[in-house]
Chain A
Amino acid sequence: MTPRRVLALALLAVSALLLLTGFGITHHEIIGPLTLGLLDKATAQLVHTLLWGPFVVLLLLHCGRSL
């Protein structure tokens, strides 16, 4: 697997997690049971708050590789 592909897949995973944790905050009554209680509102909030760093770094690297 090429570094470019690894970057793209990592960015995809972080983006999906960002989306999921966002919904975990705004729709915790759905996401909580869906994840078997793994992603409760407080956990979703913490993870969502901390994900911006990896997201921005991966986005920068992804754009740099792709341009």
Chain B
Amino acid sequence: MDRLPPLLIIAALVVAGVWAWDVHVHLSPPPAELSGELREANGTPLDSVSAYRENSIHGPPSVDIAAFRLAVGGAVARPLNYTYGQVLGGFSHEGRVVTLSCVEGWDETSLFEGVAVIDLLEASNVSPDATTVVFSALDGYTTSLPLSVVRDRRLLLAYRVNNLTLPRSLGYPFILVAEDRWGYKWCRWVTGIEASTDSKYRGYWESRGYTNDGDINRSFFGP
């Protein structure tokens, strides 16, 4: 065929138009920082919260904070449910500047403040047989980490970022700050923390081919 069909030319023009818009969006500078947001901590520049990409599995869920409960259970002697206020008021707070590295290729560094996950687990008397901690989210997302990592690194369950209340897109009310792990280990909208004896447990992305340890220094594809 020597001449292109008109319908095909129209389709190509439409695609080119959508693509031009996509390029514009991708190459535009990130939105201005939010009011009151910290952009530097102890000499370390912080990326704006607005720079994070939203990559939830079903879109960011809305949380009714009055009805919200954080469940800590599984292989523990005393399963407990916490309100948002009980988590913030019942445990010591820690702050840390941490970089989230996404498998998509982007990295963002922020100051996260929260409570140590191990403190929540130990308040429930975690079983000595437990090897793994399974995190579940409001949207059905799950991931896991070895209990030893959660304990030794004192991984945070953050409720603040860059001095702001965690925004909905970033996991309000709680995000797991999985230091030195790929972004799929950073469970957002956390509603459940479960101690488990199943060290082979695989979460949402892990059961779809991503590594179970999520080590940032290794490829994210694999067992």
Contacts and interface: CB of A to CB of B under 8 A. Distances in A.
B16 A46 contact: no
Interface stretch (B40-48, B103-111, B188-196): B103-111
Interface of B: 1, 4-5, 8-9, 11-12, 15-16, 18-20, 22-23, 26, 103-107, 219-221
B105 A44 contact: yes
Interface of A: 25-29, 41-42, 44-46, 48-50, 52-54, 56-57, 60-61, 63-67
Contacts of B12: 57, 60-61
B105 A41 contact: yes
B106 A57 contact: no
A42 B107 contact: yes
Contacts of B5: 64
Interface centre among B22, B103, B105 (most CB of A within 10 A): B105
A54 B11 CA distance: 13
Nearest to B2: A65
A48 B104 CA distance: 10
Contacts of B8: 60-61, 63-64
